[in-house]
Amino acid sequence: GESVGLHLPTLSVQEGDNSIINCAYSNSASDYFIWYKQESGKGPQFIIDIRSNMDKRQGQRVTVLLNKTVKHLSLQIAATQPGDSAVYFCAEHLTGANSKLTFGKGITLSVRP
C-alpha cells in the first residue's frame, strides 16, 4: 500500500553541524515531494519541495535529495541552528483525480548548543 515513513523518530545534532533527515516512500508514482517543519503549537511550514523529474534542489541552507531508485528522500540542513529545532515531515503528492498530500510520521530534530 501507499506509505511515507521516516527512518528515525529523533535526531540530535550539535549546533553548527549539518543535519540529515531521511524519508522513505513506497509509491513510485508520486510526482512531487515536500518537506515541512512544524514547531510546537504551530502548523506545518513549507521548507522546500522537489518534483520527481529532479534529483536535487537547493534552498537557503537546505537541500533536498531524491533517489527514485530506492524511493528515498532526504533533507540536509547546513550549519544547524537552535531555531531549526522542530518536527520535520516529508510528504508525497500523487497527481490524479483525487490528488492529495500524504504525510509521513514526524522526526524530531533537537539542536544541542
Partner 1 sequence: EAGVAQSPRYKIIEKRQSVAFWCNPISGHATLYWYQQILGQGPKLLIQFQNNGVVDDSQLPKDRFSAERLKGVDSTLKIQPAKLEDSAVYLCASSLFGGNTRLEQYFGPGTRLTVT
Give the footprint of partner 1 on this chain (CB under 8 A).
4, 32, 34, 41-46, 49, 89, 91, 93, 95-96, 98-106
- β pairing state of 107-112 and 10-14: parallel
Q: What does the block give as the cell for 105?
A: 510520521
Q: What does the block give as the cell for 80?
A: 544547524
Q: State the Cα–Cα distance between residues 63 and 77, nearest whole angstrom.
A: 7
Q: Which is nearer to partner 1, 3 or 18 (CB)?
A: 3
CB of 17 to partner 1, least distance (A): 25
CB of 104 to partner 1, least distance (A): 5
Amino acid identity at 78 = A
Instruction: Output DSSP code: residue 42.
Output: S
Q: What does the block give as the cell for 36?
A: 515541512
CB of 13 to partner 1, least distance (A): 20
Q: Which is nearer to partner 1, 84 or 92 (CB)?
A: 92
Q: Which is nearer to partner 1, 7 or 105 (CB)?
A: 105
